[in-house]
Amino acid sequence: MANTFALILALATLVTGIIWCIDKLKWAPARRAKLAEVKAQTGDAIDEATLAKVAKQPGWAETAVSVFPVLALVFVVRSFIYEPFQIPSGSMMPTLLIGDFILVEKFAYGIKDPITQTTLIETGHPKRGDVAVFKYPKDPSLDYIKRVIGLPGDRVTYDPLRKELTINPGCGEASRCDTALPVTYSNVKASDFVQTFAGFDGNEAGNGFFQVPPGDTLRGGLRLAERSETLGDVTHRILLVPEASSQVGSYFRQPGQPVASWVVPQGHYFMMGDNRDNSADSRYWGFVPEKNLVGKATAIWMSFEKQEGEWPTGVRLSRIGGIH
């Protein structure tokens, strides 16, 4: 869908741009020449209304010429500078909530062709802890947003019982693979979020996330747990479902690696959602190629109170600001 819109916008900009150029270079001078000729023949005997009809610009051409500058500006900003996205699911809670509207810095990971995603100019690469938007590797028509956990050459190990990460950088060189990145966790505490489920065993996909003050309850809901995770010098909050067991049997199995351990290939990244037990991420479908990267999420510019697939019920102005 995202690529389709980019293609439509590019084609609309191209077509209106061609019409704008032809009008400026050919049609407009011809209209002026015709007006001058009519004036020379009639003098002051013809009124302005009649003159306007003599060399009237066709309506379709007038529309194209008028909208081209707007389309060109939108195309440049959306393709190379910033693009707005809406958060449709709870996989990045508590960092991003359903209904958040974010700005994604398109040039953070390279200036790219908006249609083919080919890198035209390299400007940088993802860092651990970045919140990044990318094309879902199994279906590039879909945009996903997750946190960058593993860089090229990292060995990422996830303990499904403790729900903790171990990261060993530089595993492309065996002599350095035993060096571990400092990954630390705060104590687990109750979060402000309660999740409702289609079932009641705590393992099914959630159909709702609600902010409920500590001590209060929500019928059919389970209060999520929260802790801080620090990857090197980047600290962020993560959510856990206390009753959920990690679906290890569904994990992506990398040849030559044990279950729940992956070595990130060169030119690829390992992504995970902050809502760890409610995120379909690299643990399940593998690595994200660098060419799939869209940009870095930098700010929330609007936020609506809503649930997945439902209409907004309010506005959360307090959430407007930077993303961490």
Is residue 146 part of the annotated active site? The answer reads yes
List the structure tokens of 282: 């690299």
What number of other Cβ atoms are within 10 A of residue 204's Cβ?
11
Q: Exactly one of 112, 146, 296, 306 is catalytic; name it.
A: 146
Q: Exactly one of 79, 91, 282, 303 is catalytic; name it.
A: 91
Cα–Cα distance for residue pair 234/250, rounded to 1 Å: 29
List the structure tokens of 81: 């500078």
List the structure tokens of 167: 């990261």
Cα–Cα distance for residue pair 18/68, rounded to 1 Å: 9
φ and ψ at residue 10, rounded to 5 degrees: -65, -45
Per DSSP (E only), the strands in the chain are 82-86, 100-105, 111-112, 119-121, 131-135, 143-150, 155-159, 164-168, 183-185, 189-197, 206-211, 221-231, 234-240, 261-263, 268-272, 288-289, 293-305, 314-315, 321-322
φ and ψ at residue 210, rounded to 5 degrees: -130, 140
50 CB-contact burial (10 Å; exposed 0-12 / middle 13-18 / buried 19+): exposed
197 vs 138, 202, 299, CA distance in Å?
27, 7, 30
Cα–Cα distance for residue pair 319/237, rounded to 1 Å: 15
The set of catalytic residues is 91, 146
